Amino acid sequence: MLLFKLLVLAHLLADFPLQSARVYRLKTANLAGQLPHACIALAAMALVCYPLAGDWSFWAFATAAAGLHLMIDAVKVDLGEQGAWGGSLWAFLLDQALHVATLAAVFLTPLPAAAGLKRSVPARLDADGWITMAILFLVATFAGAYLLSAARRTFFEAKAAGKAPGAFEKYYGIAERGAIFLAVAAGGWWAPVLAPLVLLARVPSANRAAKRFRPEPFLMSPRSAAGNLLLSAALAAAGVLAARA
């Protein structure tokens, strides 16, 4: 299970924080433009799964996984261009499910039982719940930005006027959900106090940055605020339970 968690962590890193706007534009342009993203995915797997760096079978699996990642993205881009589920919540969830299912194929190999993993730093971190926490943190923050954006287009397109969130909304939301996640994960009496304060901070923050970043009204809507709070709190609680299990 440790290796699968590490592969999922690498996937989330490659698909979200390490996927810059330039890489995304290249990926959606053509097949050749998707190669840099596939290479980033391969590099992330090599970095996160470094205890297996000397195992040729790991490199064979990681290369195959990166190739399948490229194929899934190519199909997704083609479907998006044809307008089939383009940018919808269902397309996002299906895309991520296919990527994770591809990584789950590692259980068909002897790699999860590799001796090098059992004595590694990632194994000690996983024993303390940090790997699971890191995965859920990325889901709540960086992946959550795309998840909420896709949900917005799917369920609130009329109110959102069909516009994707700008850079300010994206990164403010990441920081906001990250703060709530950490507050809830830390536990203690301050968790139910800090989480609402983080949400309240969006009012003066958005007003102060309005002239420069021009945040959309969606950032300030009560429904959006409640959604951010519920998503972050739920993921944080799941992370704490998984870490303590």
Could you list the pLDDT tens digit for every one of the 245 residues in the chain? 999 999 999 999 999 999 887 887 877 777 777 898 999 999 999 999 999 999 999 999 999 999 999 999 888 877 765 554 667 888 889 999 999 999 999 999 999 999 889 889 999 999 888 898 899 889 888 998 888 778 777 776 544 444 455 677 778 778 878 887 887 777 766 666 776 677 677 667 666 665 565 555 445 454 555 555 566 666 666 666 665 56
188, part of any domain: yes
204, part of any domain: yes
6, part of any domain: yes
131, part of any domain: no
149 & 237 share domain: yes
164 & 110 share domain: no
Whether the Cβ atoms of residue 183 and residue 194 lie closer than 8 Å to each other = yes
36 & 84 share domain: yes
107 & 146 share domain: no
Residue 109's pLDDT is what? 95
84 & 153 share domain: no
Counted domains in the chain: 2
Residue 221: exposure state from Cβ atoms within 10 A (0-12, 13-18, ≥19)? middle
194 & 112 share domain: no
126, part of any domain: no
- Its domain, for residue 183, covers 142-244
137, part of any domain: no
Q: Within 13 Å and on the Cβ side, how many CA atoms surround 16? A: 23
C-alpha 199/C-alpha 195 separation (Å) is 7
160 & 236 share domain: yes
Quick count: other Cβ atoms within 10 Å of Cβ 217? Answer: 11
Residue finishing a domain among 82, 99, 116: 116
136, part of any domain: no
Residue 158's pLDDT is what? 46
Indicate the SS3 state at residue 11: helix
Residue 30's pLDDT is what? 73
9 & 74 share domain: yes
Residue 214's pLDDT is what? 56
Residue 161's pLDDT is what? 45
65 & 148 share domain: no
105 & 192 share domain: no
* Residue in the block written with tokens 């889901």: 139
208, part of any domain: yes
77 & 177 share domain: no
6 & 109 share domain: yes
